[in-house]
Structure 1
């Protein structure tokens, strides 16, 4: 395993998350099912998963390092090429001398999408020693996990005074799972989407789900797609609508939202402003394939005005 020497002396954010090579099919006449031969009207491929997070932070001017493994296969090489074209820092990339394929076929509809995915294996986890060497201000975790490596990483971050933000990523557990509440209590910011929040808590009402989650994590931000966001920070509840946009493809919207929020935590004056940046990134992400219409820092003011006018 080879890691390139960091191209930056410090990172504001350390993203821990996998890449996916997304094949996106749009304009299907129906949801895929056995025995049906469906033809899409449109197709493209895009770098997915944590690539979207890294891209959004890069465009916003936040110094972000992306901890991600790549192999010698064509999919890894194409993602690396795209990352460099977008000026995403590659100092934390892990290069493996073997195939390390991660693919998803996404069938995208206006209101939602589904995936058929394949991954070679789990990425090597950063160690507490890696975290101490890198020392970001924020550790942004792509998914929620109860494994020992993740627990050690979070414990190390807390000792170093690093803020821990974690997505959920469709975990197949609820709050009754052994160790889940304890893990949630160690996270500074929890970023599930509405479906995940309801599944974790067993609630059908989003405000009830939020109330339960905030018993264990002081800052919970729930992504609601076209409904915007509902969040709680230190006991106060916030609601912001999404931008009024034409939805093209929802793939990558959640990862883009997370990046906008973390950028806001670091550079905006208050919690509401951080949520505004998150909503702008999440809303714009759905207007093109796989979150490619993400804003640059210089774009934010025009969308804040648009949001206020709406």
Structure 2
């Protein structure tokens, strides 16, 4: 397979995923992410490190919203935004730059925007977060949407149940449990979920198993489709009796911030495109792999131009690239000439906050 095989033909703008309403609806907390890069490690107690790498990007649920919007999905977000400088940046970046619909979001007077500082070193990261409890964004009813993504670490919101009852797909993800109690309540909530996307550590912790494969089997008995993300080892998936493993994209990882959210966004895209489980896993690994090549958090999520450019770059052997040929018909012609430079990466300072 040559790189030319990864360039779509004239019929490739024919693949509409949209129906009336949104493709995906999200609700959650948006953070101001400050990403320090180029560190040799963590600073010692009482010490200081100087680095020339600093990025800024919307974080939290915004990671997924940005990744989905860059794949052409129509994304709606319900979130609270502070009325401070960071809140203005986050709102403007999401709505004006990334095309996320904030109709269901609101500014909260006097509330400080949550901030996460991420220290990226040796393809790993450590984080420090400041968040001041704020009023929730209440929804009497969800907007019309084909899918939604929820945080299953919290009780399933009533709006998600309503969306599912109306025929929508409920996708669940979750983050690290800071208490490390790994409550069984999470597994009980899966009765209201169609797709579950934990990473291997989370999956093993909640199921009390010793391997990702064992965790997959336990979770497959609780939810129709489950994927266990295994980082550089790829991903495992189960749907009914089907079991699938897909390798990670062989790239050098610089910053894993937001990679799990990019994976989820791509998996949702594949679900809406009605792809098979293996194709969804492969596409999710592709997008997550492209995202970790940048020091930029949510703003490292790939657009179609970058995906097409990667396919033509000969960065990976042709036999590996051949495994992603099914993606070609979904690359919009209008994005081909833009290439990876069309993606706005996190800048080294907060200059963009200045009008």
TM range (shorter): 0.7 to 0.9
Match of residue 136 from structure 1 = 145
**Is contact 1:110–1:250 with CA below 8 Å preserved after alignment?**
no
Q: Once the 2 structures are TM-superposed, how far is the Cα of residue 11 of structure 1 from its aligned partner?
A: 0.6
Does 1:309 find its partner at 2:316?
A: no
Distance 1:219 1:124 in 2: 29
Q: Structure 1 residues 112, 202: CA separation in 2 closer, same or farther (over 3 Å shift)?
A: farther
Partner of 2:21: 10
Name the SS for the 1:292 alignment partner. Answer: helix
Structure 1 CA distance for aligned equivalents of residues 63 and 227 of structure 2: 19
Indicate the SS of the match to 1:99. coil
* Aligned with residue 292 of structure 1, among 270, 275, 299: 299
The 1:299–1:36 alpha-carbon spacing in structure 2 relative to 1, beyond 3 Å, is closer
Within 5 A, what are the aligned runs for 1:26-41?
26-41=37-52
Distance 1:227 1:295, change over 3 A: same
Matches within 5 A, 1:165-180: 165-171=171-177, 172=179, 177=184, 179-180=185-186
SS at match of 2:110: coil
Provide, for residues 127-154 of structure 1, a one-character-per-residue CA deviation record: whole Å limited to 9, x for no partner. 3x321xx12110111x22344xx34233
- Number of aligned residue pairs: 296
Q: Deviations over 1:195-216 (max 9, x none)?
A: 2112212222110111111121
Partner in structure 2 of residue 196 of structure 1: 202
Range moving further from structure 2, 258-267 or 25-34: 25-34
Corresponding residue for residue 79 of structure 2:
68
1:231 aligns with 2:237: yes
- Aligned residue for 2:193, secondary structure, equals coil
For structure 1, which segment, 116-125 or 185-194, has the greater mean C-alpha deviation from structure 2 after superposition?
116-125
Q: Is residue 189 of structure 2 the alignment partner of residue 183 of structure 1?
A: yes
- Residue deviations 1:222-244 (CA, integer Å, cap 9, x gap): 11221221111112111111112
Deviations 1:156-192 (A, max 9, x none): 2332222110111113466653x33321222111111
Q: What is the SS of the residue equivalent to 1:251?
A: coil
For the pair shown, the structure with the greater C-alpha radius of gyration is 2
Secondary structure of 1:117's counterpart equals: strand
Aligned residue for 1:237, secondary structure, equals strand
Specify the alignment match of 1:58 in structure 2: 69
Gaps of 5+ in 2: 1-18, 321-355
Number of the residue aligned with 2:226: 220
Q: 1:21 to 1:307 in 2, by over 3 A?
A: farther
Which of 138, 153, 167 is the equivalent residue of 1:145?
A: 153
CA distance in 2, matches of 1:154, 1:71: 25
Q: 1:174 and 1:31, CA in 2 relative to 1: closer, same or farther beyond 3 A?
A: same
Q: RMSD in angstroms over aligned alpha carbons? A: 2.4
Residue of structure 2 in register with 1:248 after alignment:
254
- Distance (whole Å) between structure 1 residues aligned to residue 252 and residue 88 of structure 2: 32
Bigger mean CA offset, 192-201 vs 297-306:
297-306
1: distance between equivalents of 2:288 and 2:317? 13
- Match in the other structure for 1:91: 103
Larger RCO (alpha carbons 8 Å, 6+ apart): 2
